[in-house]
Amino acid sequence: MDIKSIQIVLKKRGLYNGRIDGIAGRLTYAAVIGGLGAMVPGVPWETWSAPRRQVAFMQAHFKSLEIETGPIDGLAGPHLAGRPSDEPA
């Protein structure tokens, strides 16, 4: 999972209108925060680092597609390894 994959998902969900450039800039960061706020109520992501928030966003995205990722904890593990941004395992 890389920044471009995250940007593609953010754009498809209408959360990001920046370029798909693979750079985790302020627009990407703001979109991830917006997505987390809408998708994972009750998860204490506000205290997590930016990379951990990015992982949590993708975990929430996969859960919305009914793909099991384990808990939304922002920790990349075997459930996310090498997974394309919008395809089931």
User: Do residues 38 and 61 make contact, with C-beta atoms less than 8 angstroms apart?
Assistant: no
- Average of pLDDT values for 45-66? 94
- Average of pLDDT values for 35-61? 93
The count of domains in the chain is 1
- Average of pLDDT values for 41-51? 92
Averaged confidence pLDDT in the chain: 87
- Cα separation of 28 and 25, whole Å? 5
* Beta strand spans in the chain (E): none
Examine the pLDDT at 70 and tell me if it is beyond 90. Answer: no
Task: Give the pLDDT score at 76.
Answer: 86
Q: Which domain holds residue 4?
A: 1-89
Is residue 64 classed as helix, strand or coil in its secondary structure? helix
Residue 52 tokens, joined: 């951990």
